[in-house]
């Protein structure tokens, strides 16, 4: 929502409409306007109440652009936020001719391929290729994803638009101490590799705070009991509370086996935490080993334990400070808005320019 407000503040757009899948979002938006000062010219395009279901959301993603055709046809430009549901943006473009920015995080096709879900992989890949082909521009969050999508033969219109945080909400920590609990933030699922992190913490005798929820919570609690690790499961908290919680820690650990551009890592860096990460695509672009954080050489508990032991033995506050400076320069909300507005300006101008005349041969 803050990004939409920045779009309006820039003067580039008079109104922002966002396409949403829950009819109750109208009431939520009204509440935000009343209590949080969200501008009146941010509006929601919501589905009929009878489509309030998982199947209804799929149906609405297809018919929604037609239901809201009058509003969409008056738009200056269209934008998607992720792959899932992005076909609604593609349909909107095809029926209105408006320029489309296909903006996304981690590709669904890679996720489904890694998980061995062949049918969903083929479907996601087909949708992504259609969007890359027909969108006026494609904005991805990492160089690895830029390379992945540029393989579709449209490299000239695939650029990196970094994930962002509103850095004004983050105060860098000042107390770097090795005796504080380690911190993990994220969904409790297989790809986050949390069981191996818990095993490593148990061996080191280091407490671990976990913020997040997911299907593996009970299994991870059992793992913690079995290896006698001191693990506190904090659940999900408001972002403002999480930012305060950063100050109760010195080291943030992300040991995933696969990542795009992890927002939790960017937030930890913004707070100046010393970040210890496995070598996944997004983490490698954010963390320079020994400069803005530390790389773990492997994914198993032994590799995580070795690196954590090394980092705990020599806490270097400068690494956290450099991480914070890096994010404030490259991943701030203001920087992301500036880059995205330049993309919008280009695709809108390109759309308005008439095609060059073709001379007929005599």
Q: Which token pair is 284?
A: 């490698």
Distance (Å, whole) CA 178 – CA 312 = 6
Tally of CA atoms within 13 A in the half-sphere of 18 that contains its CB: 17
Q: Which token pair is 234?
A: 């904090």
Asked if 132 and 104 touch (Cβ cutoff 8 Å), the reply is no
Asked if the structure places residue 360 within a domain, the reply is no
Residue 282: is its pLDDT beyond 90?
A: no
Asked if the structure places residue 92 within a domain, the reply is yes
Do 146 and 178 fall into the same domain? no
Do 226 and 102 fall into the same domain? no
What is the structure's pLDDT at 142? 86
CATH of the domain at 213: 3.40.50.2000
Residue 360: is its pLDDT beyond 60?
A: no
Distance (Å, whole) CA 162 – CA 57 = 29
Helices (H) and strands (E) in the chain, counts: 16, 12
Q: Which of 195, 219, 321 is closest to 270 using CA atoms?
A: 321
Over residues 220-249, the mean pLDDT reads 96
What is the structure's pLDDT at 256? 96
Do 317 and 202 fall into the same domain? yes
Asked if 164 and 103 touch (Cβ cutoff 8 Å), the reply is no
Beta sheet of 137-140, edge-to-edge order: 78-79, 100-103, 137-140, 158-160
Distance (Å, whole) CA 220 – CA 265 = 21
Integer angstrom CA distances of residue 117 from 112, 120, 125, 260 = 5, 6, 12, 18
State the burial class of residue 235 (Cβ atoms within 10 Å of its Cβ: 0-12, 13-18, 19+): exposed
**How big is the CA angle at 197 (ends 288 and 121), to the nearest 5 degrees?**
75
Helices 118-134 & 87-96, crossing angle to 10 degrees?
A: 30
Residue 341: is its pLDDT beyond 80?
A: yes
Distance (Å, whole) CA 249 – CA 267 = 13
Q: Which of 170-184, 230-244, 265-279, 344-358 has the lowest mean pLDDT?
A: 344-358
112-170 pLDDT per residue, tens:
888 889 999 999 999 999 999 999 999 998 888 888 887 655 667 899 988 888 888 88
Specify the number of domains making up the chain: 2
Beta pairing, strands 42-45 & 78-79: unpaired
Tell me the residue length of the chain.
362
Asked if the structure places residue 18 within a domain, the reply is yes
Q: Structure pTM?
A: 0.84
Asked if the structure places residue 142 within a domain, the reply is yes
Q: What is the DSSP letter of 357?
A: P
Structural domain boundaries enclosing 132: 2-164+332-349
Q: Is the dihedral of CA 60, 66, 69, 75 positive or negative?
A: positive
Asked if the structure places residue 361 within a domain, the reply is no
Do 130 and 202 fall into the same domain? no
Integer angstrom CA distances of residue 234 from 110, 161, 212, 219, 252 = 30, 32, 7, 15, 15
Question: Residue for token digits 């799929």?
Answer: 58
Residue 362: is its pLDDT beyond 50?
A: no
Asked if the structure places residue 8 within a domain, the reply is yes
235 phi, psi to nearest 5 deg = 75, -155
Residue 110: is its pLDDT beyond 70?
A: yes
Asked if the structure places residue 91 within a domain, the reply is yes
């Amino acid at each position: 929502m803050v990004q939409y407000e920045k779009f309006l503040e820039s003067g580039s757009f008079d109104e922002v409409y966002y396409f949403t899948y829950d009819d109750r979002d109208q009431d939520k938006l009204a509440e935000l306007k009343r209590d949080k000062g969200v501008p009146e010219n941010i509006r929601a395009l919501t589905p009929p109440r009878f489509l309030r279901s998982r199947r209804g959301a799929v149906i609405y993603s297809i018919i929604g652009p037609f239901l809201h055709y009058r509003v969409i046809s008056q738009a200056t430009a269209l934008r998607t936020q992720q792959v899932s549901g992005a076909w609604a943006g593609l349909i909107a473009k095809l029926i209105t001719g408006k320029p489309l920015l296909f903006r996304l995080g981690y590709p669904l096709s890679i996720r489904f391929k890694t998980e061995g879900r062949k049918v969903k992989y083929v479907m996601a890949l087909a949708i992504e290729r259609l969007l890359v082909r027909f969108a006026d521009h494609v904005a991805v969050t990492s160089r690895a994803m830029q390379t992945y999508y540029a393989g579709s033969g449209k490299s000239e219109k695939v650029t990196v638009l970094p994930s962002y945080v509103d850095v004004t909400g983050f105060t860098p920590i000042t107390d770097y101490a090795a005796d504080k609990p380690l911190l993990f933030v994220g969904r409790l699922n297989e790809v986050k590799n949390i069981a191996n992190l818990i095993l490593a913490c148990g061996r080191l005798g280091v407490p671990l705070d976990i913020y997040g929820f997911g299907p593996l919570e009970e299994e991870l609690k059992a793992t913690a009991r079995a290896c006698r690790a001191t693990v506190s499961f904090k659940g999900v908290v408001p972002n403002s509370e999480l930012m305060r919680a950063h100050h109760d820690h010195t080291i943030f650990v992300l040991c995933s086996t696969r990542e795009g551009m992890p927002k939790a890592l960017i937030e930890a860096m913004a707070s100046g935490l010393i970040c210890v990460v496995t070598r996944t695509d997004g983490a490698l672009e954010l963390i320079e080993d020994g400069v803005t954080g530390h790389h773990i050489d492997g994914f198993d508990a032994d590799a995580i334990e070795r690196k954590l032991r090394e980092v705990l033995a020599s806490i270097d506050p400068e690494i956290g400070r450099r991480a914070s400076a890096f994010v404030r320069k490259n991943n701030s909300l203001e920087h992301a808005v500036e880059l995205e507005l330049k993309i919008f300006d280009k695709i809108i101008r390109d759309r308005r320019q008439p095609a060059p005349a073709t001379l007929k041969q005599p």
